[in-house]
A and B are shown apart, each in its own frame.
Chain A
Amino acid sequence: MIIQDLMTISSQKEIAQNIFEMKLNGKLVGEITSPGQFVHIRVSDSFEPLLRRPISIAEMNPEKNEMTIIYRAEGRGTSLLSEKREGDVVNVLGPLGNGFPVEETTAGQTAVLIGGGIGVPPLYELSKQLTAKGVNCIHILGFESDQVVFYEEEFAALGETHIATVDGSNGTQGFVTNVMSEIADDFETFYSCGPMPMLDAVQKAYVHKKGFLSFEQRMGCGIGACFACVCHTNENATDQTYVKVCSDGPVFPAGVVQI
């Protein structure tokens, strides 16, 4: 169930250049049903900035009523969020959307998780849940440079982890696709989150595989009422069918959304 919760910040730290990890405590955590869901955060008590910020959930701990979000302080809203400190209270709406289907991969099978930049965080909880049930996870994480690489060790603790950086300062030089071409093709499913061109490349490379992609789109309400975040689907030739990223997604089976 979607609730609006006043969550308390239990920790906030910069884990890479302008990349922040924030841990939040509140009853909303008990409502999270799948990795890949997101929350809508009000970053200010005033109406400047006006809209909430959609941020994916990177990790959850229902026993402690705690969740982790990882975000890039880029615009005004996320910069304001990065200035908040431990003990501060944040107005959070969520959990929102439908996450990655963990049940699509069974114990003993292999899943490839491909993330780009700030699309990496939701893959962490996904990998934790998949590995916990006996799935072998291979992670391919793409970043601009070593300065913005995060959670390399955390992912490595869960399974085989490959890093790609555009400038070659960490791991393979280039994009996640450069690593993908070197990975054995004997896996069952892929899960991906990142910028649209990356999702496009991943989908094309693994067209013969079962996969799930998480999309991003500018949002208004975050709950499906305003129709701001629509994407066209591949359902018919007229390109007139659509889905709402916030409430139908953000995760869709590969091939459903027109990229």
Chain B
Amino acid sequence: MNRLAMTLPGLELKNPIMPASGCFGFGKEYGNLYDLSQLGAIMIKATTEETRYGNPTPRVAETSSGMLNAIGLQNPGLQGVLNNELPWLEKFDVPIIANVAGSETADYVEVAKQISKAPNVQALELNISCPNVKCGGILFGTDPEIAKELTAAVKAVSAVPVYVKLSPNVTDVKAMALAVEAGGADGITMINTLVGMRLDEKTGKPVIANKTGGLSGPAIKPVAIRMVYEVSQVVTIPIIGMGGVTCVQDVVDFMSAGASAVAVGTANFVDPFVCPTIIEQLPARLDELGIDHISELVGRSHRV
């Protein structure tokens, strides 16, 4: 018995650990360091219809137990990803979750339609929560009605299940979760980064060229846990949880809060081997907790 296996819509996961979108590129850099087939899945960098060159530099700044970034969805565009990035990943036995971004509904629909047909793409992650782009992203992610309509439009063309990535930058995350579920989402991924800012100690001016950036890292884990806890109680679709995951206990925490799988983001920058390390340590942690199969962790914080 594989004690770590999890089945989610479109995804047969050997284990529930996957690198989060935006923190793993298109896998090549990490593929030079270890066998990517060890991973449960890979959430590749956001893909837009046209090539995007991103924001001016500096794009990152360190904060207390976290970091701000404003990369700006830099990516080679849909055709570049289809021709040059996804085929390289085919040599690994690992499902790919393609993160789809756009400026308007038609962009999302076009990218979803084409990228969902790639042989190794098993699911889409609808990016309606990037805080660092002027158009799209955050607008779709903060209005429940618009999010619902976009989800439905993408579902109508996608050849694979659609997960919607929720933003924490909202007053009521449950309302957003219910909206995308009503729009036909097969699952939810959460959370994306929190909008933040850091000022230069000497000049008093924002450190990041974009002024604001998305806060990630261990600093945001309590926010993410709270949101997964809340959302998992109101939706019936599964959640892939993320936000500040750095170690095996963080995975246990997210699954206990209600996540069925867990993505690792910024921690990849601190330790590029963090994902295989967590996967290796999970069975021993289950033993310590007296748990046979990892699925027993899911949502145990809610149980009476």
The closest CB in chain B to the CB of A246 belongs to B29
In the bound assembly, the distance between CA atoms of A3 and B64 in angstroms comes to 27
* Main SS class of interface, A: loop
Closest to B19 in A: A225
Partner of A218, one of B24, B61, B246, B269: B61
Does A93 lie within 8 Å of B23, measured CB to CB? no
A220: chain B residues at CB < 8 Å are 60, 67, 69, 269
CB pair B71 A242 closer than 8 Å: no
- Residues of chain B with a CB closer than 8 A to A2's CB: 32-33
Q: By the criterion CB–CB under 8 Å, are A228 and B60 in contact? A: yes
The closest CB in chain A to the CB of B51 belongs to: A240
CB-based nearest A residue for B201 = A75
Q: Which residues of the partner chain A approach B25 to less than 8 Å between Cβ atoms?
A: 224-227
Residue contact B57 to A217, C-beta cutoff 8 Å: yes
Question: Quick check: which of A46-54, A109-117, A138-146 contacts chain B, the rest being far away?
Answer: A46-54
CB-contact partner of A228 in B28, B69, B246, under 8 A: B69
Pair B60/A50 contact, Cβ less than 8 Å: no
> In the complex, which range does the number of interface residues on chain B fall in?
35 or more
CA distance A47 to B273 in the complex (A): 16
A221 to B28, CA, bound (A): 13
Residues in A with CB closer than 8 Å to B88 are none
Confirm or deny: A60 has a beta carbon within 8 angstroms of a beta carbon on chain B.
no
CB contacts (< 8 Å) of A23 on chain B: these are none
CA distance A4 to B63 in the complex (A): 24
Residue among A4, A50, A91, A224 with max Cβ neighbours from chain B (10 Å): A50
Complex CA–CA separation, A219 to B271 (angstroms): 14
Instruction: Name the one of B23, B53, B60, B272 contacting A219, with C-beta atoms under 8 angstroms.
Output: B60
Within the complex, the shortest CB–CB distance from A85 to chain B, in Å, comes to: 23
B66 at the interface (CB under 8 A from A): yes
Inter-chain CA distance A54–B221, complex, in Å, is 26
Cβ of B65 and Cβ of A50 under 8 Å apart?
yes
A258 → B minimal CB distance (Å): 11
Q: How far is the CA of A240 from the CA of B72 in the complex (A)?
A: 14
Interface size class of A (residues with CB under 8 A): 20 to 34
Most buried by B among A49, A220, A240: A220
Cα(A51)–Cα(B68), bound, Å: 11
CA distance A242 to B71 in the complex (A): 13
Q: Mark B217-241, 1 if CB is under 8 A from A, else 0.
A: 1100000000000000000000000
Instruction: Name which residue of chain A comes closest to B61, CB basis.
Output: A218
| Contact of B269 with A52 in the complex, beta carbons under 8 Å | yes
A229 within 8 A of B: yes
Chain A residues, Cβ within 8 Å of B62: 49-51
Decide if B80 is an interface residue (CB 8 Å cutoff).
Answer: no
**Is the pair B246, A226 in contact by a Cβ cutoff of 8 Å?**
no
- A246 CB to closest chain B CB, in angstroms? 10
Confirm or deny: B103 has a beta carbon within 8 angstroms of a beta carbon on chain A: no
* Shortest distance between the CB of A90 and any CB in chain B (Å): 14
| B217 x A218 contact (CB < 8 A) | no
A240 & B53 in contact (Cβ 8 Å cutoff)? yes
Report the Cα distance A91→B28, complex, angstroms.
23
Tell me which of A50, A219, A223 contacts B29 (CB under 8 A). A223
Within 8 A of B (CB), among A214-250: 217-231, 240, 242, 247
Q: From A91, which residue of chain B is reached at the shortest CB distance?
A: B271
Cβ-defined partner of B270 (8 Å) among A47, A224, A247: A47
Bound-state CA distance A227–B59 (Å) is: 9
CB–CB A225/B271 < 8 A: no
Known: A224-B25, A230-B54. 7 other contacts (CB 8 A): A49-B62, A50-B266, A218-B59, A221-B269, A225-B24, A226-B269, A242-B74
Going nearest first, the 10 A-B pairs with the smallest beta carbon separation are A225-B25, A225-B29, A228-B60, A221-B269, A223-B29, A218-B58, A47-B218, A228-B59, A227-B74, A224-B29
Q: List 27 A-B contacts (CB under 8 A).
A: A1-B32, A4-B272, A47-B65, A47-B217, A47-B270, A49-B62, A50-B62, A50-B218, A50-B270, A51-B62, A52-B269, A52-B270, A93-B272, A218-B57, A221-B272, A223-B29, A223-B33, A224-B25, A224-B29, A226-B60, A226-B269, A227-B25, A227-B74, A230-B57, A231-B57, A240-B53, A242-B53
